[in-house]
């Protein structure tokens, strides 16, 4: 693990790792980036604790001591594709308490949410007094979504939580699907990032099996939505943001409106530079 120092940004990674492998690449990116201190991993859209146990198994093999806690379930087994790789976890963890302990111990913490926003919404509800000690970076939302009548996946999976976070006063940034849905971010079985993680002597086999499960069950490639989102913390010059006046409908669909809330959203990224920057950190 990297040396931690006072200049690092403290982060909690809130992830639905264990389906689309971009979360796995984001996790590796975070732990191999000295610019950030990964203080805690929470899992969202959990299914029977598989995501938490998968992350723990990775960390055990990597000799990484970052704590991992099982977060909320959305009772949604479809998006969990690692149930053949690790055991389930029956008992619940106090993920809100774990988040609060980390946040109280730091001057400032960024919650990087790369899945549905249930845990964050619950945290903001339970600990409103900590709102000024955190900011939230999310992969989620879209203004010009490719699927016109649907909200973006992370928003759609738990729309009421997404609306709570959107309307919260917490400082926040959205890395929109409009920015991340770009074929320059595609990783398939022939990609050097797939080969590199598969050949990792400590976690290669587990990583490869989990990625293959996704390729076999969903799509033959994964776009690096979540690692690009973390680039906002690690290499901010690689992703641009702007402020837009936005509303979020009950459906979770975001749109521009003169009466909307000023919201910081991604506008562009340096895709090729990002992919080259990511490679040595996987």
18 binds Ca ion (CB under 5 A): no
Closest CA to 50 of 7, 78, 84, 13: 84
Are 113 and 14 within 8 A, CB to CB?
yes
**Site stretch for Ca ion (CB under 5 A), options 1-9, 12-20, 61-69, 251-259:** 12-20
Q: What distances in angstroms separate CA 7 from CA 4, 26, 105, 107, one per listed residue?
A: 8, 21, 15, 11
**Site stretch for Ca ion (CB under 5 A), options 14-22, 174-182, 251-259, 265-273:** 14-22
114 binds Ca ion (CB under 5 A): yes
Helical H runs in 47-181? 50-62, 95-105, 118-126, 153-156, 159-167, 177-180
Residue with Cβ nearer Ca ion (79 or 271)? 79
Cβ-based neighbours of 201, under 8 Å, separated by 6 or more? none
Residue with Cβ nearer Ca ion (37 or 154)? 154
227 binds Ca ion (CB under 5 A): no
Residue with Cβ nearer Ca ion (53 or 177)? 177
Q: Exposure of 57 by Cβ count < 10 A (0-12 exposed, 13-18 middle, 19+ buried)? A: middle
Q: Give the integer Cα–Cα distance in Å for 35 and 24.
A: 19
Task: Return the bridge partners of 247, or none.
Answer: 255
16 binds Ca ion (CB under 5 A): yes
Are 114 and 14 within 8 A, CB to CB?
yes
Site for Ca ion in 82-101 (CB under 5 A): none
Count of chain residues binding Ca ion (CB under 5 A):
5
Residue with Cβ nearer Ca ion (172 or 242)? 172
Site for Ca ion in 143-202 (CB under 5 A): none
Which one of 115, 140, 141, 227 is in contact with Ca ion (CB under 5 A)? 115
**Site stretch for Ca ion (CB under 5 A), options 113-121, 156-164, 207-215, 249-257:** 113-121
Query: What is the pairing mode between strands 221-223 and 186-188?
Result: antiparallel
Residue with Cβ nearer Ca ion (14 or 93)? 14
**Site stretch for Ca ion (CB under 5 A), options 21-29, 83-91, 169-177, 265-273:** 21-29
Q: Give the integer Cα–Cα distance in Å for 206 and 196.
A: 13
CA of residue 239 relative to chain centroid, distance? 16
Work out how close the CB of 113 gets to Ca ion at its nearest, in angstroms, rounded to a whole number: 9
Residue with Cβ nearer Ca ion (93 or 152)? 152
**Site stretch for Ca ion (CB under 5 A), options 69-77, 126-134, 168-176, 220-228:** 220-228
Chain positions contacting Ca ion, by CB under 5 A: 16, 23, 114-115, 226
């Amino acid at each position: 693990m990297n040396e931690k120092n006072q200049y690092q940004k403290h982060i909690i990674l809130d992830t639905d790792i264990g389906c689309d492998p971009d979360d796995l690449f984001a996790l590796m990116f975070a732990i191999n980036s000295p610019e950030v201190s990964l203080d805690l991993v929470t899992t969202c859209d959990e299914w029977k604790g598989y995501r938490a146990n998968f992350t723990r198994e990775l960390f055990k093999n990597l000799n990484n001591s970052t704590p991992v806690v099982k977060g909320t379930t959305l009772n949604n087994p479809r998006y969990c594709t690692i149930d053949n790789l690790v055991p389930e976890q029956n008992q619940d963890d106090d993920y809100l308490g774990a988040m609060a302990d980390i946040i109280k111990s730091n001057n400032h913490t960024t919650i990087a949410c790369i899945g549905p926003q249930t845990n964050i919404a619950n945290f903001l509800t339970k600990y409103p007094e900590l709102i000024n000690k955190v900011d939230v970076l999310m992969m989620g939302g879209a203004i010009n979504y490719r699927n016109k009548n649907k909200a973006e996946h992370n928003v759609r999976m738990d729309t009421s939580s997404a609306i709570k976070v959107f309307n919260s006063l917490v400082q926040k940034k959205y890395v929109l699907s409009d920015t991340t849905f770009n074929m320059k971010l595609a990783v398939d079985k022939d990609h050097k990032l797939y080969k590199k993680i598969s050949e990792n002597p400590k976690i290669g086999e587990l990583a490869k099996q989990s990625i293959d499960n996704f390729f076999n069950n969903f799509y033959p490639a994964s776009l690096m939505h979540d690692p690009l989102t973390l680039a906002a913390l690690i290499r901010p010059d690689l992703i641009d943001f702007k402020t837009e006046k936005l509303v979020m409908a009950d459906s979770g669909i975001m749109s521009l409106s003169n009466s909307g809330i000023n919201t910081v959203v991604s506008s562009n990224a340096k895709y090729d530079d990002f992919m080259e920057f990511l490679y040595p950190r996987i």
